[in-house]
């Protein structure tokens, strides 16, 4: 059996977190470069990750997380991951927007640049939120924010079910939902509001209340935590 701490040319150092389709590890390649490795933990989710891989492989932009490599785990499996299931290797991120908030102007500009690339190719991200906006630091210490997790990215106009309730546009709820690029921009507004205010613009007590809250819930007064352009509040609204 292969070394459970290695996957092809990659050394797996420590698990970073677990999501709906798998587990993400910190790793390094043969040159010692830090990378992130996403493993599928359930054979039933392999098709989901393969779809994510096909989407991700078509994308290359400074503000979209770079896909470096991909493959299939050996048949005997790896440390709980299903044998024969896919893995993805991406560039290393030093944190997420949820963990390390940044300059509102810089973050929103970088998100919109990445979205512009997606939308120009007829794709919708579908799950924009602070934990899916990642911070990349280069050797010169310059940083950029990139969009990651393309697990439910889809062609504009296609039917999709998913997303994170607090950031999901009203048209994204329910079976038969076909959210388009505007739904991503709605999520950008929620992210920008949270960066400026330190809290979500709207809240719901129960899951079933979210569609109504997003559609009809009033916004509180815009009282940002730091100095921002006066027009920002109106833009976010």
Give catalytic residue positions.
127
In angstroms, the CA 155 to CA 181 distance is: 10
183/181 Cα distance (integer angstroms): 5
Residues 39 and 73 sit within 8 Å (Cβ to Cβ): yes
């Amino acid at each position: 059996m292969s070394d459970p701490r290695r996957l092809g040319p990659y050394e797996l150092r420590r698990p970073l977190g677990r999501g709906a389709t798998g587990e993400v590890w910190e790793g390094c390649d043969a040159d010692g470069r830090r990378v992130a490795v996403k493993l599928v933990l359930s054979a039933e989710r392999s098709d989901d990750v393969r779809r994510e891989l096909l989407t991700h492989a078509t994308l290359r932009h400074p503000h979209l997380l770079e896909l470096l490599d991909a493959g299939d785990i050996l048949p005997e499996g790896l440390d709980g991951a299903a044998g024969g299931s896919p893995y993805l290797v991406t560039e290393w991120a030093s944190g997420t927007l949820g963990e390390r908030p940044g300059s509102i102007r810089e973050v929103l500009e970088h998100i919109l640049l990445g979205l512009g690339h997606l939308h120009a190719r007829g794709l919708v991200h579908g799950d924009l939120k602070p934990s899916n906006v990642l911070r990349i630091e280069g050797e010169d210490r310059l940083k950029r924010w990139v969009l990651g997790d393309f697990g439910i990215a889809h062609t504009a106009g296609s039917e999709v079910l998913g997303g994170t309730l607090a950031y999901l546009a009203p048209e994204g709820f329910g079976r038969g939902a076909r959210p388009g690029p505007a739904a991503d921009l709605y999520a950008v507004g929620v992210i920008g509001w949270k960066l400026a205010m330190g809290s979500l613009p709207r809240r719901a007590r129960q899951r079933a209340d979210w569609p109504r809250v997003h559609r009809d819930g009033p916004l509180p007064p815009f009282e940002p935590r730091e100095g921002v352009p006066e027009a920002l509040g109106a833009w976010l609204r």
